[in-house]
Structure 1
């Protein structure tokens, strides 16, 4: 990684001279607080930095210093990001006020890309703009969002999507939802499935312990409440099984059954060991634009019981035991079935994981960048 301070001369930018120069703006980054979108951005930047066709320069706030492994990075002072709606709005307000100053610190670019959806700063005038829009959950499940969050997304997600020259999303399910709700032409939207670094996971084909796991933040759509009901059923039929929960914001959960252990945020090494030793990984989410944990579990040789909601059937294929996430009995049955099918699901899971690579994800982004550049050039030629 090359870390550049603000004001670095464009002459110092590395990479082939004929490569597409992409400004990757990640000024809303909250390290450790963005879940799968953070993994996506980190891996994307790493792959783009290794591509001979793309020369990325990454722009981060002060708390994101060092995030852009494998690519040039410029730290923009005075911006710190924030996880809450109020903190996000404060970051955006400061970014809007200082837009001219931020743009002066940015190198010449062919394409402007925002992996975290919100265009901060507003793209330079005349520069092709690519937005990553992971999902439109606020339109698919509006009952899970407050008025402030829905307004925030309407302004900073939806308007930006309509202004973008190209959109990258992470599943065909998400693409279909974007087309349905926002009326955006399908040709403008590129599906870049996320990847799994399978070599970083060591599958365990030996004995597994008597617990199941669920790695997810304590958000409403992660559906912990229905899973707890399923655990009460399993307490009767399978008293040896316990559930281990990992992830942030789990302190908001209530009415936790006795056979559930809440660990919260755990080190990566501990999470991977849980994958390797769990009897099953259950994923009862009500909505996923992609859903990375089931694939990570499969790469570890862990059987998966997965919800049928959102993109999950698209991602897990036939390599998981599927269930209706609204039905606790169905969840409990799927957990039992997944454990019974361990050998079969281990084989199918490893085959499924091989379909998802970060190399392919980065290649789709390159296609989106070229499309945006061509769209802007075509529009200019017709004026």
Structure 2
């Protein structure tokens, strides 16, 4: 194994499906960009053969014969292929000090004697198992939990997530490290002026994102603010079924359009039932947009006192939170900018580099 002062790191991302992985994809994309701009480690990214130019300037290797897809069946197919080809795939990492799995699933397993780092963003499947299929629960038990128990270090993204995995998985506390996600405030142009008459919710149509309660809450809000619309962005929104005509289902939008929506929205609402971190509130704050957010999971840790928090299981509470955020727009503008500036991708990168060095 190479034992140079600068650790040689393999980022194994064989389950990557660009555009289909939510916040974990943002995390991996920003991490690779930050690592590419640092001389603290010698990093190579390994991605499926159907992925190109994901890794932000890092040396990137497409792995032949590995083609990832978004479904549990697709992930199981990749797992089976990587298991059968384990020895040949491990040779890709033969001269690495550390193998890191940003998308949690340790495929292929690291070579013997190589540092093993797993990113585990949350243990939602143990907290809310009713939201997952049996196949998905089995998959996560094998690859998420099994990997966590074997890893030398686990990197997670909030103190909340760290505490839950220590409790749920019995992981030694010293093995789990927190690297908060970040937001590049310089990339956002805060709007301190007039805003348009809509509320924004950027989230994929997953069950824990709680769209149904939000729509019911907006029915209540519209009794006070009759013309207020709801704008939804993200993948999988067709799964939500019929929606009222005052709901705009935009689906996947590019980054420039999303940032403009943050700038123009009367408020950003975030009624998620569970988050390991939750980036959209910070992105909204960096845009000067007032935020109303759930008090569940890591969200209070991320939002601090810069958002109106509500009970995401209570439709009336969600409605009150949305109205309060709009009413307190001027106050939340300043608080939000200050809160967003506390979270940087550079700090996230530095935690990763410390972990790599500790194992090399």
What's the TM-score, normalizing by structure 2? 0.97
Q: CA deviation at 1:66?
A: 1.1
RMSD, aligned CA: 1.6
Q: Which residue of 2 aligns with 1:275?
A: 262
- Residue by residue, what CA displacement relative to the aligned partner does 1:148-202 show, whole Å, maximum 9, x if unpaired? 1111100000010000000000000000010010000111100000010111111
Equivalent pair of 1:321/1:338 in contact (CA under 8 Å): yes
Q: Which residue of 1 aligns with 2:96?
A: 109
Counterpart selection for 1:135 from 118, 122, 131: 122
- Residue by residue, what CA displacement relative to the aligned partner does 1:213-235 show, whole Å, maximum 9, x if unpaired? 10000000000010011011122
User: SS in structure 2 opposite 1:148?
Assistant: helix
Q: Which residue of 1 aligns with 2:51?
A: 64
Pairing 1:197–2:184 present: yes
User: SS in structure 1 opposite 2:96?
Assistant: coil
Counterpart selection for 2:111 from 124, 133, 142: 124
* Cα distance in 1 between the residues matched to 2:248 and 2:52: 34
* Cα distance in 2 between the residues matched to 1:249 and 1:186: 36
Counterpart selection for 1:162 from 149, 163, 168: 149
Equivalent pair of 2:9/2:43 in contact (CA under 8 Å): yes
- Residue by residue, what CA displacement relative to the aligned partner does 1:118-147 show, whole Å, maximum 9, x if unpaired? 011111111110000000000011111121
Equivalent pairs counted in the alignment come to 360
Q: Which residue of 1 aligns with 2:214?
A: 227
* Cα distance in 1 between the residues matched to 2:92 and 2:137: 32
Equivalent pair of 2:90/2:109 in contact (CA under 8 Å): no
What's the TM-score, normalizing by structure 1? 0.91
Equivalent pair of 2:10/2:99 in contact (CA under 8 Å): yes
Gaps spanning 5+ residues in structure 1: where?
Answer: 1-16, 374-383
Counterpart selection for 1:34 from 2, 17, 21: 21
Larger deviation: 65-74 or 349-358? 65-74
* Cα distance in 1 between the residues matched to 2:37 and 2:254: 27
Counterpart selection for 2:249 from 242, 262, 265: 262
* Cα distance in 2 between the residues matched to 1:356 and 1:55: 25
Equivalent pair of 2:93/2:110 in contact (CA under 8 Å): no
- Residue by residue, what CA displacement relative to the aligned partner does 1:28-86 show, whole Å, maximum 9, x if unpaired? 10011111111111111111222222111111111222111121111111111111000
Pairing 1:351–2:333 present: no
- Residue by residue, what CA displacement relative to the aligned partner does 1:9-37 show, whole Å, maximum 9, x if unpaired? xxxxxxxx631111111111001111111
